[in-house]
Amino acid sequence: MALDLIKATALILALSLLQGFNARFWGERHAARAIGSGLIFGVMCVVGMMMPITLTPGVIFDGRSAVLSMAALFGGPAVGAIAGAVAAAYRLHLGGGGALVGVGVITVSVLLGLLMRMLVSRGKVAPGFLPFLGLGVVVHVVALLFFLGLPGDTAKRVFETLALPYLLTLAPATALLGMLLLDLDERQRTGKALRDSEARMRAITEAVPDVLMVLDEDGRYLKIRAPDEKLLVADAESLNGKLMTDVLPPEKAAMFQDYVRRTLQSDSAQVLEYTLDTRGGPRVFEARARALDVTFEGRRAVVLLTRDITERVRLEEEQRIAAIAFESQQGMMITDAYSVILRVNKAFTAITGFSAEEAIGQRTSLLASGRHDTAFYRAMWSKLHADGVWEGEIWNRRRNGEVYPERLSISAVRNADGMVTHYVAAFMDITFSKAAEDEIRRLAFYDALTGLPNRRLLSDRLGQAMASTSRNSRHGALMFIDLDDFKNVNDLLGHHNGDLLLQKAGARLRDIVRETDTVARFGGDEFVVLLADLPEHSIDAAQQAERVAEAMLAALNRPYVLDGQTRQTSASIGIAMFSGSTHSIDEMLRRADLSMYESKQRGKNRLHFFDPVMQETVTARLRLEDEIRSGLATRQFCVHYQAQVENGRGIVSAEALARWRHPDKGFIPPAQFIPVAERAGLMSALGQQVMEDALQQLARWAHKPEAAHLSVAINISAAQLYQSEFADSVLEAISRTGAPPGKVVLELTESILLGDVDGAIDVMQRLRARGIRFSIDDFGTGYSSLAYLQSLPINELKIDRSFVRNLPASEGNLAIVRAVVALASALDVKVIAEGVETEGERNALAGNGCQFFQGYLFARPLPADEFEGLLREDLLRAR
């Protein structure tokens, strides 16, 4: 009987293994798992009841009480209830007298199991063999008590035969079953914990950006995990199981082998920095390795985490380079966006004198020299804003106040949004280089002896002048000047005096030309002068060039004092005119040079134009000058008289106008010979003759009753007025001819008077004291200024011909006439209009207060006898 009990118990224990399968099968699905578990426990009870110990028919003993108490203890109320229900149903189905007692035992077993579960969960009891045994004893003692309720002597027989084996078998069986279930439970719990921690580990390793490798002591890849296979030398799959010596270059393999060995010998992590040609190109890595506790196929191994630090290394390198660059020879300064200095280098301190402590926190205006205006800085900032860089030369001030030039470049640093965050300034003190540059410039472009520009600079300026004349269609002139017989000075007085003479000659040339012209020395005794910006009209331009050249000849002719000795020398000049860049620079120089030789050939001390037309005008003019000279000698000049009329009174005076009766060309008008005579310095002689003639005529008229009232107006040129003996010569001529001084009027133009106002006033006052009157000729065309008019002893204003024309139609002219008349009346002087050709003009003048006229309307300039005829007619008409 006891053996049967043990068999039943063994079967139950075996079936309990099904619980492990059930738990794995359902996993985390708790309800299904509870139902399955309850059914298994129920079936275990049923199987027990199928092979029971039958004491009397209807009364059976089996292991259900052990099973159910454990089902309730491990599975909880649901599992216990399901298992209990299945067991109770089957017991009721078997029926018999013990059925109800059997159901009672089932119920009590579940309840006691639940009670135990409660104690365990509250920590009152710890699960284990003895508590389970205790539960088994209690359950089965209570079951035995239930058997007392069996009818008749059955209860008595139970206690006599079965009670002891029942208790001794099923109580330990309960404990054993408990231990099996406990083990099952624990195994499941540790399995889950293991699975969880593995999943966590995987998640963690996958999140690491590093390459993870396990290498054994031979250098064999056991495991590789890479976030990016580009970081490996080959794909992870193919590396697995290979030796490093098979895939890495020998020296790298050796290095890693050594590294693995070091790691295995140490119990701390080993660090290694290395470069490797990976699938993604050469990279820099930092590895950390640690020896593993486990072995792989008997070999020790290390785990190695390696990180791509290429970018970091690059940045560090850049920083290192930047730091070295920052401490360069150049002054460096970093500011924020508001020009506040953040950082300076040692060169900054060396150049500016400000230490880092003094400079940092200050604004860059700390260095301002005050030499640049706001426009300069405004231009600098607008360039910086537009282009992000500025470069240039700037004057700054050192700490000791000294102002110095520096070459400065500023760069703006922008952030990702394009906002300027910093400015970086690099600068160099160019005090010395600027001086050196000036010196080099001087040596390269200037002649050492005279300090004048040399051939190179002249060529440069000639090119510029040619380009500029091609734009504005004006003219330029290039002159070659060679001192005549300079060799003699050198030979006779020595090189020292030769040099001195060259310096003086250069200075004289320089004095004659304008600031914008260039006087250069070509070595030896050759000078080259470049005149820029000459008039548009070629003849005008050539004449201006010629005037300058003549002035140069005169200047070079002046005596030189050398070592106490006086020397005189002349020069020859060749002139080539240009407008635009039709000829090359060399061709221009060649032309001027050739023309200079021409001058020499023609007898030195003269100028010669390259251009034949130019030369012809010069030659013609020179011929004219000669003819004027001989004309003066042979008295070819005479005087014509043009009537001056007072409104309603007839002829009151005459203007004396010079005429040239040329032996071949007939009458030549003054416009053609007066400017030439002026240039040739012949004007005073000519003026003298006119004056003589006019005064003689005046004296004659003074004795003729019909002409005795006439005054004569004589034109005076600048050359005459400013001659020191002018006033004396006039007075002498008057007394010699016997002309009445009160009838003499001298016509002067405004421009003549402005030459030397004080000198002119002196002369005029001396003459006026003798009754001579003065008229301002061509009035209105010069620089009329009330102030100077008031200070001049004048008697008459002569309205210029150009203002008479088109009267009264021209409103502008009318306004001028009115103004001159008003001015004359304010100054209390007479006003006369010249060039009156029409009645309309006369009437307009008269209507506006001008009562004196001269012009073709009344008479042309006439020889004296014809003029006298006119005078007679006029008198007859007046009667």
Interface with ligand C2E (CB under 6 A): 642, 657-658, 669-671, 674, 687, 690, 715-717, 777-778, 834-837, 854-856, 861
Evaluate the CA torsion angle 838, 843, 848, 853 in order and state its sign. positive
Alpha-carbon separation of residue 530 from 10, 144, 557, 610 (angstroms): 134, 146, 20, 15
Cβ 776 to ligand C2E, closest distance in Å? Answer: 11
Q: By C-beta, is 553 or 674 nearer to ligand C2E?
A: 674
Pick from 777, 796, 841, 868: which binds Ca ion (CB under 5 A)? 777
Q: By C-beta, is 391 or 837 nearer to ligand C2E?
A: 837
Quick one: which segment of 191-199, 267-275, 673-681, 776-784 binds Ca ion (CB under 5 A)? 776-784
Between CA 165 and CA 140 the distance in angstroms is 11
Q: By C-beta, is 489 or 776 nearer to ligand C2E?
A: 776
Cβ atoms 744, 773 nearer than 8 A: yes
Between CA 44 and CA 69 the distance in angstroms is 13
- Long-range CB pairs of 657-661, under 8 A, 24+ apart, other chains included: 657/715, 657/861, 658/686, 658/690, 658/715, 659/861, 660/628, 660/631, 660/636, 661/636, 661/637
Write out the two tokens for 747: 């016509």
Cβ 659 to ligand C2E, closest distance in Å? Answer: 7
Q: What is the DSSP string of 653-667?
A: EEEEEEEEEETTTEE
Pick from 308, 447, 778, 796: which binds Ca ion (CB under 5 A)? 778
Q: By C-beta, is 529 or 836 nearer to ligand C2E?
A: 836
Cβ 663 to ligand C2E, closest distance in Å? Answer: 20
Binding mask 697-736 for Ca ion (x = CB under 5 A): ------------------x---------------------
Q: By C-beta, is 352 or 717 nearer to ligand C2E?
A: 717
Cβ 775 to ligand C2E, closest distance in Å? Answer: 10
Cβ atoms 339, 359 nearer than 8 A: no
Between CA 9 and CA 222 the distance in angstroms is 50
Q: What are phi and psi of 851, to 5 degrees?
A: -110, -5
Which of ligand C2E, Ca ion, none binds 483 (CB below 5-8 Å, type-dependent)?
Answer: none
Between CA 368 and CA 346 the distance in angstroms is 20
Closest CA to 774 of 750, 810, 740, 809: 750
Write out the two tokens for 823: 């001015």
Task: Give the three-class secondary structure for 343.
Answer: strand
Q: By C-beta, is 396 or 854 nearer to ligand C2E?
A: 854
Please measure the distance between the N-terminal and C-terminal CA atoms of the chain and give it in whole angstroms: 198
Between CA 735 and CA 731 the distance in angstroms is 6
Which of Ca ion, ligand C2E, none binds 835 (CB below 5-8 Å, type-dependent)?
Answer: ligand C2E
Please report, as residue ranges, which positions from 625 to 684 form the binding site for Ca ion (by CB under 5 A).
none
Cβ 676 to ligand C2E, closest distance in Å? Answer: 12
Peptide bond into 453 cis (omega under 30): no
Q: By C-beta, is 202 or 665 nearer to ligand C2E?
A: 665
Binding mask 730-759 for Ca ion (x = CB under 5 A): -----------------x------------
Which of Ca ion, ligand C2E, none binds 687 (CB below 5-8 Å, type-dependent)?
Answer: ligand C2E
Please report, as residue ranges, which positions from 325 to 344 form the binding site for Ca ion (by CB under 5 A).
none
Residue type, 455: R
Cβ 713 to Ca ion, closest distance in Å? Answer: 7
Q: By C-beta, is 224 or 752 nearer to ligand C2E?
A: 752
Cβ 686 to ligand C2E, closest distance in Å? Answer: 7
Cβ 741 to ligand C2E, closest distance in Å? Answer: 19
* Pairing of the two strands 607-609 and 403-414: unpaired
Cβ 682 to ligand C2E, closest distance in Å? Answer: 12
Which of ligand C2E, Ca ion, none binds 631 (CB below 5-8 Å, type-dependent)?
Answer: none
Q: By C-beta, is 470 or 688 nearer to ligand C2E?
A: 688
**Interacting residues toward Ca ion by CB under 5 A:** 715, 747, 777-778
